[in-house]
Amino acid sequence: MRKFLFTVALAATLVGCNNSGQVNGVSFDDVIKTRRSVRSYDATKTISEAEVRELLTSAQEAPSWANQQPTKYYVAQSAAMIDSVKNYIGGNRRNVEGAPVLIISTFERGKSGFFRENPANELGDLWGAYDNGLANCYLILKARAMGFDTLIMGMRDADALRRLFGIPESETITAVISLGYRSGEPRQPQHKNLDDIVKFF
């Protein structure tokens, strides 16, 4: 029995857990509550490729239809590529100044929502967008847990980004996500009352 308890205690220590449900000193509630859409970045701070890889590895843990994993990512880290992407995100260009990473998120069509190459229900490829949203949710929450900040942008020139990154026609470009460190504290938006969005039966 003592050996079992020691093993459990050691495992908890190795993964950084404690009795309050925290991992490495940051609770999941803290991650959710401090995550914001950040539109002002600290240009003096950088993010390494290794850190982006860790982030996207966590995004891969998101569930998807029949484990199809339709989400793909294209990462701009060089100054030249970041400047190019900025040309294709409209008014958001000013919102990502100082962000050291811009990530283009896509999903493969004909994967999620299909069975034997036929749509499994009336949503069809919308399941691909759904799965892509789940993966992006994991991405932005993991980013916050790592101390980073993000902005998901829907305003983008998909055709120009497709040419820039060589994105196949079989993929739908959903969003551009900025990644960096916040400069200042963003405003917390007001949310609807829970009873406005939930019905219990």
Annotation: CATH topology of 24-185: NADH Oxidase (3.40.109)
Instruction: Count other Cβ atoms within 10 Å, centred on residue 95.
Output: 19
Q: Which of 11-15, 50-54, 104-108, 128-132 comes out lowest in average pLDDT?
A: 11-15
Query: Hunting for tokens 């449900």 — which residue is that?
Result: 21
pLDDT one-digit tens code per residue, 103-144: 999 999 999 999 999 999 999 999 999 999 999 999 999 999
Q: Which of 21-25, 34-38, 83-87, 163-167 comes out lowest in average pLDDT?
A: 21-25
Q: The pTM is what?
A: 0.86
The pLDDT confidence band at residue 101, using thresholds 50, 70 and 90, is very high
Yes or no: say if 174 and 106 are a contact pair by the CB < 8 Å rule: yes
